[in-house]
Amino acid sequence: MKTRFLFLVVLISSYCFAQSVNDYKAVLIPLKFDFTKTDNQYRLATLSKFNLNKAGFQAYYDNEQLPKENNDRCNLLYFDVVKEKSFLTTKVYITFKDCDRKIIFKSDIGTSKEKDYQLAYTEALNKAFVSVYALQYNYNDAGISNSIAVPKQDVPNAPKGISEIISTSEPIKQVITSQNTIADNSKMLYAQPTATGFQLIDRTPKVIMKVYTTSRKDSFIATKGNTQGILIAIENQWFFEYYLNDKLFSEKVDVKF
């Protein structure tokens, strides 16, 4: 009984975190964290901003001039990377705080056993960001309060599990088109930077492919599971090409760098 109660508490807490993060329009990133000695050491600030943007946040360094709509500091989240003490292992986690320094969200701990600090912090931070991607952040615009709920039967062919909240000024057809767009993007992969290139993750998020930089910006060495090949750009589209049983295969990959 105690175990079930604790599980329920953790589940409710996680749900509340995910909901409250959506109430903030942008995130401020410090250039220097408590455990680093210089600005952007190990490229932590750069990697953080890259991942936050990919996760859907508006991310700014704390020394950047913000747009006028973000002048209210209490409408912002304050990002931090925290290092845990550990022997022979690099461990970090991510927090989002409000303007009163209250923790709004805390990620799972990302770990790495790499000996090189740059590799270790890159790997550990990317693992910590898996929790951030899992939030599926979507800013709650204040204008949503002016919307009305339409009964599900009033929306033809509405996908199951999607809440139909339609503005009184928008036709139903436009909302359905938007939902179809989301469905079409379900196979989109998102590039997370690593020390040697990128790892491509889906919306789960799960690592689908790892790619390694070459001397060309439009070509990567790529691995997908046990299959090795190249990821190459052809006419502004990406393709994973590899050989299997002496036969060349080419798979189109939807990826956002």
* Mean pLDDT of all residues in 82-107: 93
pLDDT of res. 4: 52
Q: Which two tokens stand for residue 52?
A: 């936050």
CA distances in angstroms from 11 to 5, 7, 103, 129, 163, listed in the order given: 10, 6, 17, 19, 22
Examine the pLDDT at 142 and tell me if it is beyond 70.
Answer: no
C-alpha–C-alpha distance, residues 210 and 208, integer Å: 7
- Whether residue 167 contacts residue 232, with contact meaning beta carbons closer than 8 Å, is answered with no
Q: What is the pLDDT of residue 205?
A: 79
Residues 6+ apart with CB under 8 A from 113: 88, 89, 90, 120
Structure tokens at 182: 């989301």
Who wins on pLDDT, 86 or 177?
Answer: 86
The Cα–Cα gap between 230 and 23 comes to: 41
Prior bond of 171 cis (ω within 30°): no
With cut-offs at 50, 70 and 90, classify the pLDDT of residue 257: confident
pLDDT at 146: 37
Give strand ranges (E) for the chain: 26-29, 58-61, 76-84, 90-97, 103-106, 110-112, 148-149, 165-166, 189-193, 197-201, 207-213, 219-224, 227-234, 237-244, 247-253, 255-256
174 token code pair = 């436009």
Please give the pLDDT value at position 14: 46
Q: Which two tokens stand for residue 204?
A: 């789960």
**Residue 159 reports pLDDT greater than 50:** no
User: Over 50: is that where the pLDDT of 147 sits?
Assistant: no
The CA distance from 131 to 111, in Å, is 13
Q: Who wins on pLDDT, 143 or 249?
A: 249
| Residue 70: predicted pLDDT | 84
**What is residue 181's predicted lDDT score, i.e. its pLDDT?**
35
Residue 11 in this model has a pLDDT that exceeds 60: no
Domain boundaries, the chain: 2-134, 143-185, 188-256
The whole-number pLDDT of residue 185 equals 58
pLDDT band at 153 (very low <50, low <70, confident <90, very high): very low
**What local confidence, expressed as pLDDT, does residue 13 receive?**
46
Cα Rg of the chain, angstroms? 21
Total residue length of the chain: 257
Cα–Cα distance, 211 to 223 (Å, whole number) = 6
pLDDT beyond 90 at 128: yes
For residue 176, name the pLDDT band (cuts at 50, 70, 90): very low
Instruction: Select from 138, 133, 161 the least CA-distant residue to 256.
Output: 133
pLDDT tens-place string over residues 198-226 = 999 988 878 999 999 888 888 899 999 88
pLDDT digit string, tens, across residues 32-49: 999 999 999 999 999 999
Which whole number is the average pLDDT over 86-107?
93
- Taking residues 74-84, report their average pLDDT: 94
